[in-house]
């Protein structure tokens, strides 16, 4: 079955259902009697089961089916929610997420059956109901046996007349010598929403038992849901009628199945009706539902070749249709602007060309700016998609570390570029794990210090200008700066002389060095020294920065600043010698003209005193190895840039002006010590390098 075209939709919707289950189970753990939560979990498990079954993921379907069974009894009031059940359900969610990861990587759910989880669920269900778990199966078996005997082939043919082609008649006649030929009519429940999906599952079940020769309505009509609540097939199989019927009834939302032997006399009748029936066959559009492609459709007597396609899973963004309407309107205006420029170019009267040309250029500039903003909005996603998995993580850490803790989040609706969203999850996870392990004290220690026994971790996100700020803080013990200083000296990271001249912030920054950790013991949570340096590296790759603030005994705060988008930015174009460079406007505070006489020195480094603030000077021509000017100017043009609370002055030769630029990667082959974050192509085709002010401050 080729279901690759639905794989992306399946993955996106499965992620949503799993996240919903995570959130609802956390609520259920604290509110075991919450009926709305119980109903929501049942619905999510039921949806997951149906989706997994439709895609053919049996293990995923089996696990969610067992979870659904438990909540079905809870909904009916036959059993209560206990902590043991919640633990098993979380294990089940972890298994489902593992299946999903395998599906994303290879379109296959893997080979792990997770039978232990299913056994534990069944044991809890048996204990809750006070009866054997075999009883539902026995009841189902008894119900099947109590159904009326299979309808004869007359009923089958009478209900839905199947018109056979000559080669199909020949194939069935020949197969009757060695196999059973069954005529089957399948009835779907009236409450079923996805008829085509249920039909697909029936076809899939039948194909495991034999070959489906023909169906009525046609395969195309079934996949397009152009049929009522029943359809008929002819099946060639060596299996018994009872086994075939049981296999059909095992599919959810199937009401009944009439099955009988397809007799040769009916083939004769069908032969006589072929000519008339051919007029009833209609050509239909391409498949829009799951196609049971293993059905042996034929053309001119020859089996159609099946082509196997490898599923390709792409990253996607769900977009509000109103945003797409805005984009469409802007593209229309872009075409109008283009037509205006073409008209000017073909106009023989050149007297008014200059004014008209400038007017069209201004119009084009407005449209492209609006288009950029609209595309940015389309690419934006709420940070909620990243942080909503953290409450579950805190629950698990609380049990693993034996610490009572709560996570408080604000600003989940804050939006970030999709590219940033994809990369920011791991750094935030590192910071929260560090806060839980290193930051918060043990329960006993907090009580001894007079603090609330339950520690608090806060995750706040908000927009600040062209940046998004994310803060991860805790009310734990804070960072012992003296301990960090001594650890750095013991490891040989710094000397005692260097330590004496370092500020508290300089010492805290040592925590971001590779392999630096103050943990006395290594655990599977933290302590290996691979956390904060990874965080810093990943955030700087995104054009952001991170800083740490701490108060001993009160807690620590890690502040991350990230750009809203990574594709198009506003920049200040400057000159250094004969070369042009771009400095992102988001980093710039002010531009100053500083007389050379006001330059002072602190520890042999150039600084200026700007309105009471001492700001270090960075001569970009020296950093970038640009040929300096021959004449020494009387004053310097200084671009004041910021990184958090830090300021620095970048000395440039000339200012060109503000420009909207598209960031282009310069590849991995140019070693620029991270000073250059990319390049931009200017209007005249010249390339300007983009300076990363964060690495200079």
Q: What is the pLDDT of residues 338-365, one digit of tens each?
A: 777 777 766 656 555 677 777 888 888 8
Percent of the chain whose predicted confidence (pLDDT) is above 90: 8
Residue 304 included in any domain = no
111 inside domain: yes
Per-residue pLDDT tens digits for 116-143? 888 888 888 888 776 433 444 444 333 3
Among candidate residues 346, 381, 416, the one where a domain is terminated: 381
Verify that 425 and 482 share a domain, yes or no. yes
Mean pLDDT, residues 281-299: 35
Check residue 645 and give its pLDDT: 76
Question: Is pLDDT above 90 for 456?
Answer: yes
Q: Which of 541, 563, 585 is the last residue of a domain?
A: 563
The Cβ-side half-sphere exposure at 148, using a 13 Å CA radius, reads 8
Of the candidates 235, 236, 214, 218, the residue with the CA atom closest to the CA atom of residue 227: 218
Whether residue 447 is contained in a domain is answered as yes
Q: 370 and 390 share a domain?
A: no
Q: Are residues 347 and 414 in the same domain?
A: no
More confident residue, 649 or 5: 649
Higher pLDDT, 3 or 436: 436
Question: Which one, of 544, 409, 539, lies nearest residue 467 by Cα?
Answer: 544
| Predicted confidence (pLDDT) at residue 408 exceeds the cutoff of 90 | yes
Write the CATH number for 280: 3.30.70.1110
Q: Do 3 and 290 contact (CB within 8 A), yes or no?
A: yes
Q: What does the pLDDT read at residue 444?
A: 92
- pLDDT tens digits, 301-334: 433 433 333 344 445 667 777 777 888 888 888 8
Q: How confident is the model at residue 161 (pLDDT cuts 50, 70, 90)?
A: low
pLDDT digits 0-9 by tens, 548-573: 888 888 899 999 988 776 667 788 99
- pTM of structure: 0.59
Average pLDDT over residues 147-169: 49
Asked whether residue 112 falls in the same domain as residue 164, the answer is no
**Residue 676: CATH number of its domain:** 2.40.50.180
Taking residues 216-222, what's their average pLDDT?
80
Least confident of 56-65, 75-84, 259-268, 671-680: 259-268
Q: Are 280 and 247 within one domain? A: yes
- Give the per-residue pLDDT at 639: 92
User: In the predicted model, is pLDDT for residue 300 greater than 50?
Assistant: no
Mean residue pLDDT of the chain comes to 78
Handedness of CA 555, 547, 617, 467 (dihedral sign): negative
Let me know: does 1 contact 38? Beta carbons within 8 Å: no
Determine the pLDDT at residue 559: 92
Indicate if 572 and 523 belong to the same structural domain: no
480 and 398 inside one domain: yes
Return the active site residues.
46, 68, 434
Spacing of C-alpha 103 from chain mean position: 14
- The confidence score (pLDDT) of residue 631 equals 74
164 within a domain of the structure (yes/no): yes
**What value does the mean pLDDT take over residues 37-62?**
86
- Is 326 inside a domain boundary? no
Model confidence over 9-27: pLDDT tens digits?
A: 888 888 888 888 888 898 8
User: Which strand (E) or helix (H) includes residue 54?
Assistant: helix 35-55
One domain, residues 276 and 403: no
What is the reported pLDDT for 131?
43
* Between 522 and 262, the higher pLDDT residue: 262
CATH number at residue 558: 3.30.565.10
Q: What is the CATH number of the domain that holds 119?
A: 1.20.120.160
Residue 672 CA: distances (Å) to CA of 543, 563, 618, 667: 15, 21, 16, 11
Domain count, the chain: 5
Indicate whether 311 belongs to any domain: no
Tell me the per-residue pLDDT of 421-433, one tens digit each, with 9 for 90 and over: 878 888 898 899 8
460: exposed, middle or buried (Cβ count in 10 Å: 0-12, 13-18, 19+): middle
Q: Which letter does DSSP use for residue 511 in this model?
A: G
> pLDDT tens digit string along 508-525?
888 888 766 665 555 555
Q: Cα(357)–Cα(341) distance, rounded to whole angstroms?
A: 7
The pLDDT, as a whole number, for residue 528 is 38
The boundaries of the domain holding residue 553 are 383-563
Q: Are 101 and 49 part of one and the same domain?
A: yes
Pairing of strands 302-303, 380-382: unpaired
Query: Which residue, 107, 136, 165, sits at the end of a domain?
Result: 136
| Claim to verify: residue 533 and residue 406 sit in the same structural domain | yes
- The percent of residues in the chain predicted with pLDDT above 70, rounded, is 79
For residue 248, being part of any structural domain is answered with yes
Do residues 370 and 397 share a domain?
A: no
> What pLDDT band is residue 267 in, cutting at 50, 70 and 90?
low
Q: Are residues 373 and 387 in the same domain?
A: no
Is the per-residue pLDDT at 30 higher than 80? yes
As a whole number of angstroms, the distance between CA 643 and CA 693 comes to 8
Q: Would residue 308 count as lying in a domain?
A: no
């Amino acid at each position: 079955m080729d279901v690759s075209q639905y794989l992306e939709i399946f993955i996106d919707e499965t992620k949503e259902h799993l996240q919903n289950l995570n959130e609802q189970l956390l609520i259920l753990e604290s509110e075991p009697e919450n009926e709305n939560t119980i109903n929501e979990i049942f619905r999510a498990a039921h949806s997951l089961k149906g989706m997994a079954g439709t895609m053919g993921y049996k293990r995923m379907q089996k696990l969610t089916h067992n979870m659904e069974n438990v909540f079905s009894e809870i909904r009916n009031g036959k059993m209560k929610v206990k902590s043991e059940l919640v633990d098993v359900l979380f294990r089940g969610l972890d298994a489902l997420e593992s299946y999903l990861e395998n599906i994303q990587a290879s379109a296959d759910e893997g080979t792990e059956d997770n039978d232990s989880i299913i056994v534990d669920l069944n044991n809890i269900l048996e204990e809750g109901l006070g009866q054997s778990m075999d009883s539902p199966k026995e009841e189902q078996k008894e119900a099947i046996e109590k159904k009326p005997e299979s309808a004869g082939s007359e009923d089958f043919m009478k209900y839905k007349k199947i018109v056979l082609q000559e080669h199909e008649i020949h194939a069935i006649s020949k197969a009757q010598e060695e196999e059973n030929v069954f005529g089957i009519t399948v009835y779907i429940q009236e409450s079923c929403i996805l008829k085509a999906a249920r039909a697909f599952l029936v076809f899939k079940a039948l194909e495991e038992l034999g070959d489906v020769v023909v169906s009525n309505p046609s395969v195309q009509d079934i996949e397009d849901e152009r049929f009522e609540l029943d359809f008929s097939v002819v099946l060639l199989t060596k299996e018994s009628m009872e086994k075939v019927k049981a296999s059909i009834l095992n599919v959810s939302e199937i009401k009944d199945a009439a099955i009988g032997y397809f007799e040769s006399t009916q083939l004769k009748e069908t032969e006589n009706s072929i000519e008339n029936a051919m007029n009833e066959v209609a050509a239909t559009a391409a498949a829009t539902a799951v196609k049971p492609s293993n059905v042996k459709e034929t053309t001119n007597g020859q089996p159609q070749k099946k082509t196997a396609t490898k599923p390709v899973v792409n990253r996607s963004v769900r977009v509000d249709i109103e945003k797409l309407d805005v984009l469409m309107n802007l593209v229309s205006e872009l075409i109008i602007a283009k037509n205006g420029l073409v008209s000017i170019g073909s106009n023989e009267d050149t007297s008014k060309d200059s004014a008209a040309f400038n007017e069209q250029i201004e119009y084009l500039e407005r449209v492209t700016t609006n288009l950029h903003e609209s595309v940015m909005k389309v690419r934006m996603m709420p940070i909620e998609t990243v942080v909503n998995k953290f409450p579950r993580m805190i629950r698990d850490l609380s049990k693993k570390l034996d610490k009572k803790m709560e996570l408080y989040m604000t600003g989940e609706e804050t939006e970030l570029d999709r590219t940033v969203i994809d990369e920011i999850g791991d750094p935030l996870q590192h910071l929260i794990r560090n806060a839980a392990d290193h930051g918060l004290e043990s329960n006993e220690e907090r009580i001894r210090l007079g603090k609330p026994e339950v520690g608090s971790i806060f995750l706040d996100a908000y927009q600040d200008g062209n940046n998004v700020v994310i803060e991860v803080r805790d009310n734990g013990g804070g960072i012992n700066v003296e301990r960090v200083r001594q650890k750095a000296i013991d490891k040989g990271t710094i000397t005692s002389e260097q330590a004496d001249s370092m500020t508290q912030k300089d010492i805290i920054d040592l925590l971001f060095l590779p392999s630096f950790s103050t943990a006395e013991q290594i655990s599977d949570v933290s302590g290996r020294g691979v956390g904060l340096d990874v965080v810093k590296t990943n955030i700087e790759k995104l054009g952001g920065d991170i800083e740490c603030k701490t108060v001993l005994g009160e807690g620590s705060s890690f502040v991350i600043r990230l750009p809203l988008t990574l594709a198009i930015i506003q920049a200040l174009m400057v000159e250094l010698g004969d070369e042009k460079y771009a400095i992102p406007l988001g980093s710039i505070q002010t531009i100053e003209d500083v007389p050379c006489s006001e330059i002072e020195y602190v520890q042999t480094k150039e600084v200026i005193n700007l309105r009471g603030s001492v700001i270090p000077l960075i001569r970009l021509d020296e950093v970038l190895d640009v040929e300096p000017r021959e004449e020494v100017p009387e004053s310097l043009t200084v671009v004041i840039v910021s990184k958090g609370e830090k300021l620095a002055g970048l000395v440039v030769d000339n200012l060109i002006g503000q420009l909207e630029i598209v960031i282009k990667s310069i590849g991995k082959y140019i070693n620029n010590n991270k000073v250059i974050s990319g390049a931009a192509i200017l209007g005249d085709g010249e390339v300007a390098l983009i300076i990363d002010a964060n690495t200079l401050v």
